[in-house]
């Protein structure tokens, strides 16, 4: 007969398998749920302009939000729904992946870097942007990473930039006091007031913060990238049908040039995609 210990291990194994399988089945029903409920839920971050934020009219806006609007329109068309409500659900850097795992949102629209560890939690669409971590200084303060020794710096908590900052400090073996802030606006305010000597974030976000700051003349943006990262839309893990629809939507935008209009609208009429981003669009303009 099977020993008591073996029976326990077998039961635990079966429970674990059941959990995984049921989780995948639950996550694989995005389009079915939207068809049944008539609503599509977009998760977005409120403080990561120009990618996702709340605009002056109190509405979700930004480059990633615009991409998700295209996805929503495609979902409605694919399901032949006469009416479909699009709900915008605010998420944070801390709870955004949890919101997908627990089924509170259908898609995550923000500056989300693809990593292997994150792919254990969620799936990702085709790439949507390339950027990297950089740093914003005060004009009257340090001007290089090495000069930050003994200083206090800030970074948005729960981001890949926070981990990159930690790794760089360790590699340089310098003493830097790192403060995790709960929003980019908070990080900027603390830099402007001199409470920190530098603020670390993705360079596109830093450029936007500097351009909208009332004290922009007192700030300077480093030209250096400390990381190079690819963004994508995060999706429920294991939902192949929904991911294919999202990828098809993005590939079509890249193929027919629709992404150019979205980019100009999100970053300003005079803005142009970087050479790296143009290459990314071309690579991801997959044929039908």
Q: Judge whether 8-131+229-283 and 133-221 match in fold.
A: yes
DSSP string computed for 213-278: -TTGGGEEE-S--S--EEEEEEE-TT-HHHHHHHHHHHHHHHHHTHHHHHHHHHH-TT----HHHH
Architecture of the domain spanning 8-131+229-283: 3-Layer(aba) Sandwich (3.40)
Domain ranges, ordered by start, for the chain: 8-131+229-283, 133-221
Over the chain (288 residues), the average pLDDT of each successive run of 10 is 48 42 53 97 95 95 98 98 98 95 97 95 97 93 90 92 89 92 94 96 92 93 90 97 98 96 87 90 95
CATH-assigned architecture of domain 133-221 = 3-Layer(aba) Sandwich (3.40)
Global confidence as pTM: 0.80
> What pLDDT sits at residue 160?
87
Q: How does strand 39-45 pair with strand 85-91?
A: parallel
> What is the pLDDT, as a whole number, of residue 6?
52
């Amino acid at each position: 007969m099977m020993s008591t210990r073996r029976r326990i291990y077998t039961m635990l194994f079966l429970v674990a398998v059941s959990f995984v399988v049921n989780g995948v089945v639950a996550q694989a029903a995005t389009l079915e749920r939207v068809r049944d409920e008539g609503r599509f839920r977009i998760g977005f971050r409120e403080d990561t302009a120009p990618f996702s934020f709340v605009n002056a009219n109190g509405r979700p806006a930004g480059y990633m939000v615009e991409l998700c609007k295209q996805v929503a329109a495609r979902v409605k068309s694919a399901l032949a729904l006469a009416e479909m409500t699009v709900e915008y659900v605010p998420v944070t850097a801390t709870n955004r992946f949890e919101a997908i795992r627990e089924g509170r949102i259908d898609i995550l629209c923000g500056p989300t870097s693809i990593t292997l560890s994150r792919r254990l939690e969620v799936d990702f669409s085709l790439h949507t942007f390339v950027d990297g971590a950089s740093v914003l200084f005060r004009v009257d303060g340090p001007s290089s990473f090495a000069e930050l020794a003994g200083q206090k710096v800030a970074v948005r908590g729960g981001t890949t930039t926070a981990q990159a900052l930690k790794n760089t400090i360790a590699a340089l073996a310098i003493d830097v006091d790192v403060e995790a802030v709960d929003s980019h606006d908070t990080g900027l305010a603390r830099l402007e007031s001199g409470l920190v000597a530098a603020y670390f974030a993705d360079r596109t976000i830093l450029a936007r913060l500097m351009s909208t700051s009332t004290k922009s003349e007192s700030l300077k943006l480093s030209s250096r990238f400390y990381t190079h990262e690819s963004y994508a839309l995060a999706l429920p893990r294991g939902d192949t049908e929904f991911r294919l629809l999202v990828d098809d939507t993005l590939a079509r935008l890249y193929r027919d040039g629709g992404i150019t209009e979205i980019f100009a609208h999100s970053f300003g009429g005079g803005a142009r995609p970087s050479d790296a981003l143009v290459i990314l669009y071309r690579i991801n303009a997959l044929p039908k």
